[in-house]
Structure 1
Amino acid sequence: MDGEGKVDSHYVASNHQHYKRIYQWYEKLTDRIEKVHRYCSETFPDIAIGNFARNQERDETEHPEVFRYFGVGSGSGDSDIAILTQLSKRLPRIEATITEPSDKMIANFKLAISECGNDALQKIKFTWNQATIEEYMKMPQDTKFHCIFLCGVLAYFKDVDQVVQYLYSVLAENGTILIVTESGNETNIFYEVWYPGRFPSINEQIAIPDNVVASFERCGGKVRSSNLECILDGSTLVDEESESGSLLLDLLTGVVDCRKTAPPEFLRQFLDFISDSNVSFKQEGKFLLKNDRVLIIVQK
């Protein structure tokens, strides 16, 4: 059950088809997606444009500078599109570089752009890279970005300090980085249960926001972080006949078909843990789990 030192299809991390099915249920049970999307649409674009405007005020050239955007591990691009949609309404020239290792996710991203009906968004010049951030870092380039966005990918970095140093080095003067990541404390069921020792493809230490903040500060960045309160409906976890409960259990433990394959003692300990833990509470007859995110903003 501990799975130390190996990754196989028994783990959600390496069974992408199962993860996709799980995530469809997860989206229905959490308010995280809505809250992150709202922040990306309503709050962050003002911050990024405000910092970019300071560059324009110092720019003595006649033509405005192109706004360069960098999406790291963007997946199907939902949050990136939320940001770029608002930026495209207010900035005349945008170039977006997207890095994502999954060709299927890149295809979904492109499809979402073509179907959005936003003419300004479709005028953005996109550059697509099917690569991890570590692979992208090895490619020859000299681009500086005014905005860099990462959502839910920190835990997959092999060396957080190396990636942080790289991201800060390619950030333009007065540029802005937004990182949305797991909360690394008792306000997040994933940090308490999902990471430690049960998901061998993920570096649990990298998932701690304080480590990331400290890394950027060592680079000289101006960093601030805030907590985004989110909840996950875990009411079906105790129902052995519930499909959503079984899939949610797989997500929390990182094990495929956990209810069928895990030792009964493990399941008992897990359910006892979330019942007594600081990460759960009851409200209006529902059993809710804290699913908070941390928003980290870095400025140069």
Structure 2
Amino acid sequence: MAAEAKQSSYDGSHVENFEFYLQCSGEHESILHFLMKHLPEEFERIGADKSGLAVLGVGSGGGEVDVQMLSLMQSTLSALPITADIVEGSTELVAKFKGLVTKTDHLQKIPFTWHTMLSEEYMQKTKGRGDVKTFDFIHMIQMLYYVDDLTETIKFYHSLLNKNGRLMIIIESANSGWDTLWRTFSKELCNEILPVYRSSSDVLASLKSLGLKYEEHFIPNTFDITECFDPNSKTGQHLISFMTGRENFYQSFTPRVRADILNVLRSKCSTEKEGKVSFNSEMRCVFVYA
């Protein structure tokens, strides 16, 4: 989602805000519902004629989605050993991910290599080595908003794919509520953490410029933002502050800008029915072929 903090600063209050958003939005549930339906077939295709599988997660956060994908890979391809490399810039989220692995017995059979660093740092470190590890499945879920060079990032990670491998990208859809909000108020919302907003249209443009083969899928999701329009609601204040990437929405903008943002949220980013305002947070999943 657009309001995530850059990996290097994703600790403390940022983690708290992110987890609050996840509770309200149902985003992980929507992603997992999609992945449980589509990934088994992808895993079977990736694992054909292989003696083992190497997985790379980039910007994996606290690992809630990763552990489900790895568990699914184990059950789908039970005869193949799996290794997992994780690139994540937040020490707090890496610790949370490690805790999940510790609590999940079957995942303890998987050797994990932890890279507590930004994607750019991992790219630089990898390019400096002569012996580069390659992977069968690389996933980048809701993290391409913050890389320095979108096309170069996709090109680099695609170059790490083994034969029949897949690079999976999940990002907010073009014309979703996030896309409308952040492009409409790019001057007010974009900052040193997120200087330019990106959505699925930017990812697809990069893939086409690189001449890469891919397939895309929609991941529908909406969530209730009704309380965002009540300045006395603590839930609404937390949620809209996260959505706009600010610690405190009502203190960060002038009354005029606040009013304009709330108007666009209600009229162009959401649907309203029986007093309930539902924000369109549709996502795209893109499978890029090796």
Matched, 1:271 2:259: no
Aligned residues: 275
1:19 aligns with 2:19: no
2:33 to 17, 35, 38: 38
Judged with a 3 Å threshold, the aligned counterparts in structure 2 of structure 1 residues 254 and 299 are, in CA distance, closer, same or farther, namely same
* Matched residue SS, 1:244: helix
Q: Deviations over 1:88-139 (max 9, x none)?
A: 122421111111111221111111011123x2x2111111111111111122
**Cα distance, 1:247–1:127 mapped onto 2, change above 3 Å:** same
**TM-score of the superposed pair, with normalisation by structure 2:** 0.87
Work out whether residues 169 and 287 of structure 2, in 8 Å CA contact, stay in contact via their aligned partners in 1.
Answer: yes
Aligned residue in 1 for 2:46: 51
In structure 1, give the amino acid aligned to 2:71.
Answer: T
Deviations 1:23-79 (A, max 9, x none): 2332232132201022233322321322321xx1xxxxxxx5220101001111111
Q: Give the TM-score normalised by the residue count of structure 1.
A: 0.85
Q: Partner residue of 2:104? A: 116
- Does residue 232 (structure 1) correspond to residue 227 (structure 2)? The answer is no
Q: Which residue of 1 aligns with 2:248?
A: 257
Q: CA RMSD in A?
A: 2.1
Aligned-pair distance for 1:156? 0.7
- 2:179 maps to 191
1-structure distance, mates of 2:202, 2:5: 25
Overall identity of the aligned pairs, in %: 24
Distance in 1, Cα, partners of 2:150 & 2:213: 18
Q: Distance in 2 between matches of 1:132 and 1:228?
A: 26
Is contact 1:145-1:175 (8 Å) kept?
A: yes
Deviation at 1:284, TM superposition (A): 4.6
Give the letter aligned to residue 116 of structure 2. Q
Match of 2:172 in 1: 182
8 A Cα contact 1:48 1:176, kept in partner: no
The 2-side partners of 1:136 and 1:48 are apart by 25
The CA deviation string for residues 134-190 of structure 1, in whole angstroms up to 9 with x for no partner, is 1111222422211000111001110011111111111111101111111122x2x22
Structure showing greater radius of gyration is 1
CA distance in 2 between counterparts of 1:229 and 1:292 reads 5
> How far apart are residue 16 of structure 1 and its match?
4.3
Gaps of 5+ in 2: none
Match of 2:287 in 1: 297
For residues 71 and 12 of structure 1, do their structure 2 counterparts lie closer, same or farther at Cα, with a shift above 3 Å needed? closer
Aligned partner (choices 85, 108, 111) of residue 125 of structure 1:
111
Q: Are residue 156 (structure 1) and residue 146 (structure 2) matched? A: yes
Q: 1:243 aligns with which of 231, 234, 238?
A: 234
2:207 counterpart residue number: 216
Secondary structure at the counterpart of residue 163 of structure 1: helix
- 2:229/2:262 contact within 8 Å kept: yes
Would the aligned equivalents of 1:12 and 1:256 in 2 still touch at CA under 8 Å?
no
Task: Quote the offset at 1:15 in angstroms.
Answer: 7.6
Retained in 1: the 8 A contact 2:138–2:167? yes
CA distance in 2, matches of 1:82, 1:165: 27
Which residue matches 1:165?
155
Name the residue aligned to 1:67: 53
Pick closer, same or farther for the CA change 1:12–1:50 going to 2, 3 Å.
closer
Distance, in Å, in 1 between the alignment partners of 2:190 and 2:155 is: 26
* Correspondence 1:106 to 2:115: no
Q: Counterparts of 1:24 and 1:99 in 2: how far apart (Å)?
A: 19
